[in-house]
């Protein structure tokens, strides 16, 4: 058997040695994926859900200036200016206010900042009722789904929201989950699933959550929009969510570059030097911000 074609995910396809390797004899499916011949031919990359092909010019544009944007000297002020220009550019692309944008090291950190802010909410750890405090869809990214056991160990009650057969979270299922957990304080549902591509109707889900709030405590609704950026229209205000996370490497930017949108500030669990209004409170934001601001 001779391996003549290979999917971009790394799965080889073997064919009998007597089969011609000319393009005319390769099936349409094989032609649609990466074809590997001997001698080698051009490969085609289709694994954009994992990471997009980077814009090679971004790395150069985000390398200067080098200084700490929190410093008050000339170089620091220059770095601060480029950082705020990047924040403004991101805000314009997303249709939101620049002061609501916080640069992070990626979607995982953005999700984590919101998730673990639960521990800073008054009365959360004293919740002894049967109602879960955190509700998250079973199809969430591991940065949310696999951190729920950690929160449980800390005393935060968590409950998954079941998905439909097509992978989506329906309003009816969410309504039933809320009915079982009237004391929920945070809900996390992604806009587009990173494995199945299922698209959730975030606006419809928010409407149900806001109606539920009239009978109980306020609910922070966080949306992981990492896979949604560049694929479906994003409408933070129209969706009426409270926060959202994005990642630059999904849309041509650098890895380890993220964005957290917060409608209103939250109290972070981890404290530091105060950068990014303490979300996250550490350096690195200049490279992150410029990396996101230069995305195509």
Residue 63: DSSP 8-state:
S
List residues bridging with 102 in a β-sheet. Answer: 260
Q: How far apart are CA 253 and CA 31, in angstroms?
A: 28
Beta-bridge partner residues of 34 = none
Given a cut of 60, whether residue 245 has pLDDT beyond it is: yes
Q: Are 60 and 34 in contact (CB under 8 A)?
A: no
Q: Region 48-53: what's the mean pLDDT?
A: 82
The answer on pLDDT for 276 being more than 70 is: no
Token couple for 182? 């009237």
Is 191 within 8 Å of 230 (Cβ atoms)?
Answer: no
The answer to whether the CB of 62 falls within 8 A of the CB of 291 is: yes
> What's the farthest any 2 CA atoms get from each other in the chain?
71
For the chain, state the CA radius of gyration: 22
What count of other Cβ atoms lies within 10 Å of the Cβ of residue 212?
19
pTM of the model: 0.78
DSSP 231: T
d(CA 241, CA 256): 24
Q: Under a CB-based contact definition with an 8 Å cutoff, are residues 54 and 253 in contact?
A: yes
Domain span(s) for CATH 3.40.640.10 in the chain: 57-293
Q: Let me know if 179 is exposed, middle or buried by CB neighbors in 10 A (0-12, 13-18, 19+).
A: exposed
Summarised one tens digit per residue, pLDDT across range 184-209 is 999 999 999 999 999 999 999 999 99
Integer Cα distance of 49 and 216 in angstroms:
37
CA torsion 179-224-278-109 (nearest 10°) is 110
How far out from the chain centre does Cα 117 lie? 17
Q: What is the mean pLDDT of residues 216-245?
A: 95
Q: Give me the sign of the Cα torsion angle 109, 110, 116, 121.
A: positive
Q: What CATH fold (topology level) applies to the domain 57-293? A: 3.40.640
Model pLDDT for residues 78-136, shown as the tens digit of each residue: 888 888 888 999 999 999 999 999 999 899 999 999 999 988 887 777 766 788 899 99
Q: pLDDT digits over 264-273, tens only? A: 988 888 766 5
HSE-CB at 177 with a 13 A cutoff on CA atoms is 28
* pLDDT band (50, 70, 90) for residue 10: very low
**Residue linked to tokens 């329906």:** 170
Query: What pLDDT is stored for residue 60 in this prediction?
Result: 52
């Amino acid at each position: 058997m001779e391996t003549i074609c290979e999917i971009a995910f790394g799965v080889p396809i073997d064919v009998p040695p007597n089969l011609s390797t000319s393009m005319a004899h390769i099936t349409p499916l094989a032609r649609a994926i990466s074809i590997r011949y001997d001698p080698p031919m051009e490969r085609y990359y289709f694994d954009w859900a994992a990471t997009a092909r980077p814009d090679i010019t971004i790395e150069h544009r985000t390398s200067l200036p080098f200084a700490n944007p929190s410093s008050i000297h000339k170089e620091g002020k220059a770095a601060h200016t480029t950082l705020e220009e990047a924040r403004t550019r991101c805000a314009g692309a997303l249709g939101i206010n620049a002061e609501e944008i916080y640069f992070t090291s990626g979607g995982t950190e953005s999700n984590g900042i919101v998730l673990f802010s639960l521990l800073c909410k008054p009365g959360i750890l004293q919740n002894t009722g049967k109602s879960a405090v955190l509700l998250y869809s079973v199809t969430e990214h591991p940065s949310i789904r696999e951190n729920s056991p950690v929160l449980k160990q800390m005393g935060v009650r968590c409950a998954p929201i079941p998905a439909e057969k097509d992978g989506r979270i329906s309003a009816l299922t969410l309504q039933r989950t809320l009915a079982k957990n009237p004391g929920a304080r945070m809900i996390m549902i992604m806009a587009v699933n990173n494995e199945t591509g299922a698209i959730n109707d975030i606006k419809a889900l928010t409407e149900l959550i806001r109606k539920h709030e009239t009978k109980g405590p306020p609910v922070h609704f966080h949306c992981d929009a990492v896979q949604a950026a560049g694929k479906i229209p994003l409408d933070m205000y129209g969706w009426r969510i409270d926060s959202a996370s994005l990642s630059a490497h999904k849309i041509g930017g650098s890895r380890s570059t993220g964005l957290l949108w917060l409608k209103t500030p939250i109290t972070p669990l981890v404290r530091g030097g105060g950068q990014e209004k303490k979300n996250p409170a550490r350096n690195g934001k200049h490279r992150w911000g410029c990396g996101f601001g230069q995305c195509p």
